[in-house]
Homo-oligomer: A and B are copies of this chain.
């Protein structure tokens, strides 16, 4: 069983949540489950789309992978002690990802302290003020924590999540499945190159992280 929790809130950026929602759901693996989680049963996106959540926010504690998306609503989240208390994360045993301003949530939880990370340009100063070394890159990976900047770098995050959970072959199949016709090889290689170049340190260099899903 591998569970992925995608964290929604009012004012989430649509792509950040719904592109990984679609692509991660293309994985063919026994016990693979992708859930949109949140404080409420519904959340409205930055562009006005109302979506339903499938599980409460505090279920992130038992997820194998947690993705914090970006959006204007992030500022409400980081000022809500209730939201932060329910976000019980453990980078020792979970893959933890943040897209764009979602990195501010990791910052508020103290998970990026003294580390390098990336975010959306408009959130750089806020993230720096949290003691994070902000670098202008599409993806920054440090052990089990990955941050991505610019909505479509979600593709790099997705690739990293898949490499760490279902292995290289299934990662390539899933990415190719979503690639533009006639461009799948180029598309997959370009993504793999960025992911490989983004790993600043590796928790378990010689091993695939979740044996049970292979």
Query: Which 9 A-B pairs rank lowest in CB-CB distance, beginning with the nearest?
Result: A149-B181, A138-B180, A153-B180, A14-B22, A150-B180, A150-B181, A18-B18, A25-B47, A151-B178
Q: How far is the CA of A21 from the CA of B22 in the complex (A)?
A: 14
> How many copies of this protein are present in the complex?
2
We find that the number of chain A residues with CB closer than 8 angstroms to chain B is: 42
A-B contact pairs, 17 of them (CB 8 A): A13-B22, A14-B21, A15-B178, A18-B49, A19-B19, A22-B47, A49-B51, A138-B182, A138-B183, A148-B180, A149-B182, A150-B183, A152-B178, A152-B187, A153-B181, A153-B183, A156-B180
Residue of B nearest to A50 (CB): B52
Q: Which residues of B contact A153 (CB under 8 A)?
A: 180-181, 183
What mask results when residues 17 to 33 of chain A are scored 1 for a CB within 8 Å of chain B, else 0?
A: 01101110100000000
What mask results when residues 147 to 175 of chain A are scored 1 for a CB within 8 Å of chain B, else 0?
A: 01111110110000000000000000000
Residue of B nearest to A121 (CB): B181
